[in-house]
Each structure stands twice: as structure tokens, then as C-alpha cells.
Amino acid sequence: MEMAVSLELRNTGDAGIGAEIRALVEHALSDRPGDWRVAILGSRGNDNWDMKVEGPNGFERSYTLVGGAGEHQPLVVANVLLRLLPAKTPQGEPNLS
């Protein structure tokens, strides 16, 4: 099974948090086939980060991570990502219907 994960982090502050987010995102997508792109872009004007997830078969989702709601914590980012992903079928393939 071939897969690739691309992660872009911009204006998210602490490099240590970025490294932890990177590891958790790669782990969350490690058993998903296809190429995945995750972009997390911090705003200079407020405390929000915009997360965009793109995957195979035209899959695309977006979510705003609100810092004041604790959504900048690496484990919270990973949990939000998992909720955005398509459900897996029993064979482990994502259900894109």
C-alpha cells in the first residue's frame, strides 16, 4: 500500500508543538492509502488556525481550530483530523461515499 503525507504548518508558533503535530498527523494517516495533504495555517490577526485536509478521490475537508477553545493542543488537532477523515470500511479502505 503506497501513501504519502504532506504537512504544511505556518504561523503556528512553538516549533516543538509543530513537531508533535507532525508526528500525530503522520500516525493518523499512516494506515490510509493514497496521498494526503494537511495544511495548518495560523492567523496573524486572531487566535485561529485553519486546517485543510485533502486526500484521494477528491476528498477535501476544512476546520477552524480555535486556540481559546484548546484546539491548538497536538492531541486535539489529531482528534479533529480523525473526525474529518472518511470512515473506514471493514477492509480498511476509506468509505468515500
Instruction: Give me the residue spans of the domains in the chain.
Output: 3-84
pLDDT tens digits, one per residue of 41-72: 998 889 999 999 999 999 999 999 999 999 99
At the top level of CATH, the class of 3-84 is alpha beta
Residue 88's pLDDT is 76
Q: Which residue has the higher pLDDT, 26 or 89?
A: 26
Question: Residue 15's pLDDT is what?
Answer: 83
Contact present, 42 and 49 (Cβ < 8 Å): yes
Three-state DSSP class for residue 94 = strand
Which helix (H) or strand (E) is 17 found in, with range? helix 15-29
Sign of the dihedral defined by the CA atoms of residues 35, 24, 62, 44, in that order: negative
The per-residue pLDDT for range 1-41, each reduced to its tens digit, is 566 899 999 998 888 899 999 999 999 999 899 999 999 99
Q: Exposed, middle or buried, 32 (CB in 10 Å: 0-12/13-18/19+)?
A: buried
pLDDT value at position 13? 84
The CA–CA distances, whole Å, from 84 to 11, 30, 45, 48, 78 equal 22, 15, 25, 18, 10
